Amino acid sequence: MSSLTMGNRFGRNTTVQSENNRPNSLTSGHRACQGCGEALAARCSLDAAYIETKGNIAVVNATGCLEVFSCAYPENSWNIPWVHSLFGNAAAVASGVAAAFKSQKKDIRVIAQGGDGGTTDIGMACLSGMFERNDDVLYICYDNEAYMNTGVQRSSATLTFARTATTLPNGQYMGNDIRTGKNVPEIAMAHGIPYVASASIGDIHDLEKKVKKAIHIKGAKYIQIHSPCPLGWGYPTENTIQLAKLAIKCGLYPLFEAENGVVVNSTAIDNIISVESYLKGQKRFAHLFGKNAQVNSWKVIQELANNHIRKYKLGEVVYE
Amino acid sequence: MLQQLEGSQALAKAIALCRPQVVCAYPITPQTHIVEGIGELVRNGTLKNCEFLNVESEMAAISVAIGSEAAGVRSYTATSSQGLLYMMEAVYNASGLELPIVMTLGNRTIGSPINIWNDHSDAMSVRDAGWLMLFAENNQEAVDLHIQAFKIAESIKCPVMVCVDGFVLTHAYEQVNIPEQNEVDEFLPKYNPHISMDKKHSYAIGAMVSPNDFMEVRYLAHKRQLDALDVISNVREEFLSKFNRNSGGLIRGYNIDGADTVIVAMGSVLGTIKDAVDNLNASGNEKFGVLSIISYRPFPQNEIKKALNQAKRVIVVEKAFALGKGGILSQEIELVLKGLNIDVISIIAGIGGRIITKQMLMECFENPKDKFQFLGLNRATIEKEYQSPCISKVGKE
């Protein structure tokens, strides 16, 4: 239900979520965990797209948490045309939906959505093909940095040193010590598509603004939304938004927009914080701070944040 | 109109006459000429209102077709061999989602070792995937089956795979009668989809189904295949009356009444088989007949039983086999004829494009030495391989 407090009604910068006519594209009663960042990100994104297009959207979903918790037969939480095919083919299915609308001359905007596993790993080939053909699809990746649906295994979006079921820390192993993950927004930019953005449920205004902008652009669009997962990351369910905000404030999740392969805009951070304050609230990084932790090992992650701060011009690096 | 055409070009023309609105193309030998041909017809304006997508893999090709069918437009793609395996997950998905995609399978074997030539190993690998599977005997039938396939698929909401022998048909120049556009339009009206993705017809397609309902869903899919037996027969009748050609249907007999031995096969090898049988019938005492299986899925058990139950002996010529077991089609025929005291002999032929001549078949039909045999198997090569120090000595012949 929407809130009708004075502040919301008269504020100049209200979100779709605070409006009376919020469409509830993903409606209540679904089976997501308490505090699910992905459910919130999906509702915010699709509601914004719905309002912007007067309901003329069609959504393709990759297999994953979002699909499993929303469509357990005979129930269904989607108030929009919605199709789920497989784990790795959402981008291609969306290309097909877009081609069908084009051939029928229907002006319905197509959105594909999936988690980071379905996007940055198994869905990468179809995603790249959709980008390369510049098909008229907005692809949204809800990034919670691991395969949560199958029980928290590492993906190519998993942050350095994070504990997952397949990167367990145990003395000589530092959790996800394999690599720093795949920068899919930049891979998307390298295809020269009209619009790429990163967003976060820690900044709903920014998220809605980007979706509303992207949904009107003809051609391939990519938005990657940071969506914390209480189960996979190990934090109290009420901290989802707080952690998303901390990830932005420490520079680990830079918010930016790129057009035709060039960054055109990034969100400066007012008071940059240390990654330590973000990491410490999550059990997946507990091994970096416990009694037996290697001293200051988390500073490798600080360096990642600093690189983002410099690269995307988010402010001055404070924590070296 | 009668035209001298390469099989693939004939198919491209036939598919364009069916007015698909989304066609996805990914190259794999030997189906490539078909999608090339359709692409040309789209670009020169012959096939209008059609989106032709150059995709990045077979997985994308079938997935695009899944998306466009979910959005309610007639969709087509083609593949072969490894390409079919690469799209396998989505092949099952398309039938599960009840999307009436039509796909040509330009039949080719499966590696390793890599081999681009014809047999039916690819088709046999998806025989339980929930698609209807129709086998063309010649290029005319391949053309006609595609026109029928859209009608069958759309009337029962089930994808149809039209199997056309790679090279033997796809690359062969034959005289083919390509129907006129108005005739095809009358036979195959504008697609009236049961689902679409605009907000007036909002559905959630592709739900998760628990053990409480999954078996019922699968039962209904099985039932739909059985119902398709009637649909395929009816569409054949309708096609016959409209185009005056006896193409398609479930099975087709040739000299089958009173035959002592009936040869059973699918696809282009039937032409050679009929020639062989004609020669044998002209000279010998034993009478031979031929049974073509056009609809492999659904498998027309009752019709096959009725066609074969007077025979003394049945010889199945099959272009694929199950490693570690034997013939696939012959096993299914054997089950149909169980208890009838009819000998069923399996001849594995043409594997990986191995030549099948009339002479080879005639010798084999007259005097089939074993119940299970490989036509033209080179024993010398095998013996040589057994002498090689590189391979295990276990299981010498």
Q: Where are the domains of chain B?
A: 2-243, 252-382
What pLDDT is stored for residue B391 in this prediction? 61
**Does residue A1 register a pLDDT over 50?**
no
Q: Which among A61, A81, A88 has CB closest to B197?
A: A81
Q: Which among B68, B93, B206 has CB closest to A100?
A: B68
What pLDDT is stored for residue B157 in this prediction? 96
Separation of CA B110 from chain center: 15
What pLDDT is stored for residue A42 in this prediction? 98
**Does residue A6 register a pLDDT over 60?**
no
Pairing of β B372-374 and β B160-165: unpaired
**Does residue B93 register a pLDDT over 80?**
yes
Location of structure tokens 């919605």: A82
Question: Which residue from B minimizes the CA distance to A71?
Answer: B207
A84 and B206 within 8 Å at the Cβ level: the answer is yes
Tell whether A124 is within 8 A of chain B (Cβ).
no
| A&B contacts, CB < 8 Å | 163
Could you tell me which CATH number the domain at B2-243 has? 3.40.50.970
CA separation for the pair A254, A256 (Å, rounded): 6
Question: Which residue from B minimizes the CA distance to A69?
Answer: B208
Residue B238 buriedness (CB in 10 A; 0-12 / 13-18 / 19+): middle
B315 beta partners: B263, B345
B201 and A81 within 8 Å at the Cβ level: the answer is yes
Pairing of β B326-327 and β B321-322: antiparallel
Tell whether A238 is within 8 A of chain B (Cβ).
no
Average pLDDT over residues B141-170: 98
> ω into residue A230 within 30 of 0, thus cis?
no
Tokens of A190: 């390298």
Contact by Cβ (8 Å): A64, A115: yes
**Does residue A10 register a pLDDT over 80?**
no
CA separation for the pair A246, A250 (Å, rounded): 6
Average pLDDT over residues B234-249: 98
- Nearest alpha-carbon partner for A43 in A13, A93, A69, A78: A78
A83 and B204 within 8 Å at the Cβ level: the answer is yes
CA separation for the pair A44, A112 (Å, rounded): 15
Q: What is the mean pLDDT of chain A?
A: 94
SS (H, E, C) chain A: CCCCCHHHHHCCCCCHHHCCCCCCCECCCCCCCCCCHHHHHHHHHHHHHHHHHCCCEEEEECCCHHHHHHCECCCCCECCCEEECCCCCHHHHHHHHHHHHHHHCCCCEEEEEEEHHHHHHCCHHHHHHHHHHCCCEEEEEEECCCECCCCCECCCCCCCCCCECCECCECCECCCCCCCCCCHHHHHHHCCCCEEEEEECCCHHHHHHHHHHHCCCCCCEEEEEECCCHHHHCCCHHHHHHHHHHHHHCCCCCCEEEECCEEEEECCCCCCCCHHHHHCCCHHHHHHCCCCCCCCCCHHHHHHHHHHHHHCCCCCCCCC
At residue A18 the predicted structure's pLDDT band, cuts being 50, 70 and 90, is: confident
Q: Which among A72, A94, A103 has CB closest to B21?
A: A103
At residue A13 the predicted structure's pLDDT band, cuts being 50, 70 and 90, is: confident
What pLDDT is stored for residue B388 in this prediction? 81
What pLDDT is stored for residue A14 in this prediction? 85
**Does residue A12 register a pLDDT over 70?**
no
Q: Among B51, B88, B195, B200, which would you mutate to test the A interface (most chain A Cβ atoms within 10 Å of its Cβ)?
A: B51
Q: Which among A68, A108, A133 has CB closest to B198?
A: A108
A81-124 confidence digits (pLDDT tens): 999 999 999 999 999 999 999 999 999 999 999 999 999 999 99
Q: Is the dihedral of CA A25, A30, A34, A38 positive or negative?
A: negative
Q: Is B179 helix (H, G, I), strand (E, B) or coil?
A: coil
Tell whether A108 is within 8 A of chain B (Cβ).
yes
Rounded to a whole number, what is the distance in Å from the CA of B318 to chain A's nearest CA? 34
Amino acid identity of B250?
A: L
A157-215 confidence digits (pLDDT tens): 999 999 999 999 987 889 999 888 899 999 999 999 999 999 999 999 999 999 999 99
Chain A 269-288, CB below 8 Å of chain B: which residues?
A: none
Average pLDDT over residues B213-237: 97
Q: Is B29 helix (H, G, I), strand (E, B) or coil?
A: coil
Average pLDDT over residues B99-122: 98
- Nearest alpha-carbon partner for B264 in B240, B296, B297, B222: B296
Q: Sketch out chain A's domains with CATH numbers.
A: 16-311 (3.40.50.970)
DSSP state of B287: -
Q: What is the mean pLDDT of chain B?
A: 96
Q: Which residues of A touch B47 (CB under 8 A)?
A: none
Q: What architecture is domain B252-382?
A: 3-Layer(aba) Sandwich (3.40)
- Nearest alpha-carbon partner for B155 in B65, B93, B231: B231
Rounded to a whole number, what is the distance in Å from the CA of A112 to chain B's nearest CA? 11
Separation of CA B168 from chain center: 14
A257 beta partners: A197, A265
What pLDDT is stored for residue A288 in this prediction? 94
Highest mean pLDDT range out of A7-21, A166-180, A247-261? A247-261
Q: Which residues of A touch B209 (CB under 8 A)?
A: 73
Phi-psi label, residue A141: left if phi above 0, alpha if psi -120 to 50, beta otherwise: beta
**Does residue B393 register a pLDDT over 90?**
no
Q: Which among A55, A96, A104 has CB closest to B64?
A: A96
Pairing of β A82-84 and β A57-61: parallel
CB atoms within 10 A of CB A316: 8
Pairing of β B173-177 and β B2-6: antiparallel
Tokens of A197: 């953005």
Which regions of B219-309 does DSSP assign to beta strands (E)?
251-254, 261-265, 288-293, 295-297
Rounded to a whole number, what is the distance in Å from the CA of B48 to chain A's nearest CA? 9
B56 and A125 within 8 Å at the Cβ level: the answer is yes
Q: Which among B22, B198, B207 has CB closest to A103?
A: B22
What pLDDT is stored for residue B194 in this prediction? 86
Contact by Cβ (8 Å): A5, A23: no
B199 and A82 within 8 Å at the Cβ level: the answer is no
Contact by Cβ (8 Å): B57, B1: no
What pLDDT is stored for residue B394 in this prediction? 59
Q: Which among B22, B90, B204 has CB closest to A71?
A: B204
Amino acid identity of A243?
A: L
Q: Which residues of B touch A93 (CB under 8 A)?
A: 63-64, 66-67, 70
Tell whether A133 is within 8 A of chain B (Cβ).
yes
DSSP state of B208: B
Pairing of β A57-61 and β B326-327: unpaired
Residue A303 buriedness (CB in 10 A; 0-12 / 13-18 / 19+): middle
What pLDDT is stored for residue B1 in this prediction? 86
The b/e string for A269-281 (b: 16+ C-beta within 10 A; e otherwise) is: beebbbbbebbeb
What pLDDT is stored for residue A320 in this prediction? 85
Side-chain-side CA neighbours of residue A268 (13 Å): 5
At residue B52 the predicted structure's pLDDT band, cuts being 50, 70 and 90, is: very high
From residue A135, give the alpha-carbon distance in Å to each of A45, A55, A91, A219, A222.
Answer: 20, 21, 9, 5, 11
* pLDDT over 70 percentage in chain B: 98
Q: Do domains B2-243 and B252-382 have the same CATH topology?
A: yes
Q: Which residues of A touch B42 (CB under 8 A)?
A: none
Tokens of B18: 């069916």
What pLDDT is stored for residue B202 in this prediction? 72
Q: Which residues of B touch A103 (CB under 8 A)?
A: 21-22, 49-51, 68, 73
Tell whether A89 is within 8 A of chain B (Cβ).
yes
Chain A 41-60, CB below 8 Å of chain B: which residues?
A: 55-56, 58, 60
Pairing of β A195-200 and β A221-226: parallel
Separation of CA B285 from chain center: 34
A42-93 confidence digits (pLDDT tens): 999 999 999 999 999 999 999 999 999 999 999 999 999 999 999 999 999 9
What pLDDT is stored for residue A185 in this prediction? 98
Location of structure tokens 């990657």: A224
* pLDDT over 90 percentage in chain A: 89
Q: Which among A93, A101, A106 has CB closest to B63?
A: A93
Average pLDDT over residues A264-268: 98
Query: Listing from the earlier edge strand, what are the strands of the sheet with A82-84?
Result: A262-266, A256-259, A195-200, A221-226, A137-143, A109-115, A57-61, A82-84, B204-205
DSSP state of B377: -
Separation of CA B378 from chain center: 28
Q: Which residues of B touch A55 (CB under 8 A)?
A: 199
